[in-house]
Amino acid sequence: MPLLYLQALTVNSAAHSAICQLSQRLRPSRVFDLFIQDGDAIMPAQTATLTPHQQSVLFPRAREAEGTFSVFLDAQEISVQTITIVNDPSQRILGITGRNTEGQDTVREIYIQFADHTPAGTTFDLTNSEFTSTRVWLSIKTATDTYVVRGVIGTLNIQQIFPQLIKVQGSAVVTTDTNPSGAVHSLVVNFDIHT
């Protein structure tokens, strides 16, 4: 059976009938993408199956991390129960998430992102990182309030980095932008983690 790879192709009505005839002969049976005509799905077409390596590059997975991830939020220590790392080779970034849960309705997440090719000893000034891949975010979800704020003032320091092994050590001292109540948060994070 011939293999046809078409993805999100916009077609006109003349091409539509030819495509329908072709699809009847091919009888697609595995992974499908759709032909699109004027924003509406017309029909599926058979596509190539991705190898595990291609899948890992296109859809990087978060991995559980081990090590230390200490967080002080507004000068109060919070314990981080879950640490994950994502290495996205297509965008060349490392993303680290530390998650804290208190009670049944409070979840706090700290997300740190930077380029996976960052040299050890690099210090990022967050006031100059708005249009870069370097980010520090704080997410707070409670029963009555949910918001995400970005670290806009402060530094992110990467002391050691081994992206092939996914091992990284660093720290962040951050002041966030204002939350919906008009308050800012201070955040101090020290991490030495690996997968």
Domain ranges in the chain are 13-49, 56-194
Q: What is the pTM of this model?
A: 0.69
- Residue 85 reports pLDDT greater than 70: yes
The pLDDT tens digits for 59-77 are: 677 888 899 999 999 999 9
What pLDDT is stored for residue 7 in this prediction? 40
Angle at 153 between CA 150 and CA 156, to 5 degrees: 85
Q: Which amino acid makes up residue 66?
A: E
Q: Averaged over 72-83, what is the pLDDT?
A: 94
What pLDDT is stored for residue 122 in this prediction? 94
- Residue 22 reports pLDDT greater than 60: no
Listed in sequence order, the residues at least 6 apart from 130 whose beta carbon sits closer than 8 Å to its beta carbon are 152
- Residue 52 reports pLDDT greater than 50: yes
What pLDDT is stored for residue 40 in this prediction? 52
What pLDDT is stored for residue 87 in this prediction? 85
The pLDDT tens digits for 116-161 are: 889 999 999 999 988 888 999 999 999 999 999 999 999 999 999 8
